[in-house]
A = this chain, B = another copy of it.
């Protein structure tokens, strides 16, 4: 049984484990004040080309989202996101728990366009309604689609002129940055947003997301807020060492590229076999539409998520590839499907 269920089925890239082993008996300061974290942050700043950003390493995506968003907003301020947004549907109301409404806008492909945000602003006219203040997007989106540099720029300008914070959940950011057509770099991410995070967990780390805060107004006292949410590890080195490895010699991008390539291979095989897709995703998530009978038979050899019922006879499934996906498994899947 081979799993295409997600990009966190395996442990970490061996190079990361190796670095953990080698540094193991060094004595380091706690709570992210260690030399590895310092070094990882240095590398990230260098790669982005901006020394004035703040970088914080946090265990996971939900924790990063809730810590950052609740740090950025006043109590009556709200987030706007797509109806498929992770904070809207898959974080057990973490944002609401911190007191903030999550306003959703319809979206076919998981992306948000300024027109939709404008409608939200128009509706929220006075103090009887929350004040929309932060636009949350993920890149890639939950549906695997990507904001290109141009699209991000447009959304960024809209946010700026409407005094909205633009925050990007980059749980799978590596995959987006390695899509040529998106033409997007880490520097662009920084230039066009107020804050975003670079996901490690889904790209080869055991745990870890690197939150980048560019907007000066959002930086103050962030470590207090991290500690308060339980998001400051005593052994912060665990995060530091991993990001050190990921951003030394571009391992992060290599891993993302592999995930994308495996997804492409999958898609090409499925297209060849004339399968349709729920959405046109270039990243490491693929959503083919298969007959339910075929799905059942595939489940004998592969595990994956059934995403959405399409009609009585067919459903879209989700296939996720990662840094760890084996080419043979992909080929076997395609072969199986073609039978």
Contacts and interface: CB of A to CB of B under 8 A. Distances in A.
A30 B305 CA distance: 13
A91 to B, nearest CB: 7
For this chain, the copies found in one complex come to 4
Interface stretch (A109-117, A126-134, A264-272, A282-290): A126-134
A326 to B, nearest CB: 10
A147 to B, nearest CB: 23
Query: What bracket does the count of chain A residues touching chain B fall in?
Result: 35 or more
Contacts of A66: 229-230
B230 A60 contact: yes
Given A27-B3, A92-B227, A228-B75, A17 B10 contact: no
Given A10-B24, A92-B129, A128-B90, A238 B3 contact: no
Interface string A177-193: 00000000000000000
A129 B89 contact: yes
Contacts of A93: 76, 78, 99-101, 130, 228
B231 A127 contact: no
Nearest to A124: B89
A90 B124 CA distance: 10
A85 B223 CA distance: 21
A61 B233 CA distance: 9
A324 B28 CA distance: 13
Contacts of A24: 10-12, 14, 17
B221 A235 contact: no
Interface string A75-116: 110100000000001111110111111100000000000000
Interface string A225-269: 111111111110110000000000000000000000000000000
Contact of A62 (B75, B227, B238): B227
Interface stretch (A42-50, A201-209, A293-301, A311-319): A201-209
A235 B206 contact: yes
A102 B96 CA distance: 9
A226 B91 CA distance: 10
Nearest to A222: B127
A97 B225 CA distance: 10
A130 B235 contact: no
Interface string A42-68: 000000000000000001111111110
A118 interface: no
Contacts of A99: 93, 96-99
Nearest to A62: B230
A228 B11 contact: no
A26 interface: yes
A294 to B, nearest CB: 22
A11 B221 contact: no
A229 B11 contact: no
Interface of A: 2-3, 5-6, 8-12, 14, 17, 20-21, 23-31, 59-67, 70-71, 74-76, 78, 89-94, 96-102, 127-131, 201-202, 206-207, 221, 223-235, 237-238, 324
Nearest first, the 8 closest Cβ-Cβ pairs linking A and B are A63-B230, A11-B24, A76-B224, A92-B228, A93-B130, A93-B101, A9-B27, A127-B223
